[in-house]
């Protein structure tokens, strides 16, 4: 049986969340935006998996892993819809630069 301290995992997920937020705020390409969102979501999933180990064998411990499974499904769905938006955006604008998708601006 292995033992790992929480600081490493929370630090890693915090760092991944920071990278994701940074990417969401600075990248203008829609695919890069999607990737940034995925990195941030993976930070959350990592936390769910790690803290499931805090209540091993109980319903709470298993719930952490169950929610992680559901989150992976949500993330995959989000990428599928994101790709559909990429294709629709490219068809209308001829580019996937989100800075040019300003049709709804007042």
Partner 1 sequence: MNLPELAFVALAATAVVTAVGALLVRELVHTIMWIAVFFVDLAAIYFLLEAPFLGVLQLGVYAGAVTVLLLLGIMVTRKRIFSREAATGIGPAALALALLAFVFVVTAVGEFPNAAQPIHSYDPAALSQNLFGANGAWLLLLGLVMLVSVAGAIYLVREGRE
* Footprint on residues 66-95 left by partner 1 (CB under 8 A): 66-70, 72-81, 83-88, 90-92
DSSP conformational letter for 57? T
The Cα 78–Cα 3 span in angstroms is: 34
Does residue 62 touch partner 1 according to CB under 8 A? yes
Q: How many residues bind partner 1 (CB under 8 A)?
A: 74
What's the min distance (Å) between Cβ of 48 and partner 1?
9
* Whether the Cβ atoms of residue 45 and residue 68 lie closer than 8 Å to each other: yes
| CB closer to partner 1, 1 vs 104 | 1
**By CB under 8 A, what part of segment 2-61 binds partner 1?**
2-8, 10-23, 25-29, 31-32, 34-36, 38-39, 42, 45-46, 49-50, 52-54, 56-57, 59, 61
Please tell me the distance from the alpha carbon of residue 61 to that of residue 50, in angstroms, as a whole number: 10
CA distance 36 to 21: 7
Nearer to partner 1, 79 or 101 (CB): 79
| Residue 5: φ, ψ to 5° | -75, 150
**What's 97's DSSP letter?**
B
Instruction: Indicate the residue among 25 and 104 with the shorter CB distance to partner 1.
Output: 25
């Amino acid at each position: 049986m292995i033992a790992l301290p929480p600081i490493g995992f929370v630090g890693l997920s915090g760092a991944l969340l920071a990278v994701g937020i940074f990417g969401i705020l600075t990248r203008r390409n829609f695919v890069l935006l999607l990737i940034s969102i995925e990195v941030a979501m993976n930070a959350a999933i990592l936390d769910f998996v790690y803290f499931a180990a805090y209540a091993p064998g109980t319903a709470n411990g298993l719930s952490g892993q169950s929610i992680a499974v559901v989150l992976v499904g949500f993330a995959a769905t989000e990428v599928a819809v994101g790709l559909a938006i990429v294709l629709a955006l490219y068809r209308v604008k001829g580019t996937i630069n989100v800075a040019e998708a300003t049709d709804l601006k007042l």
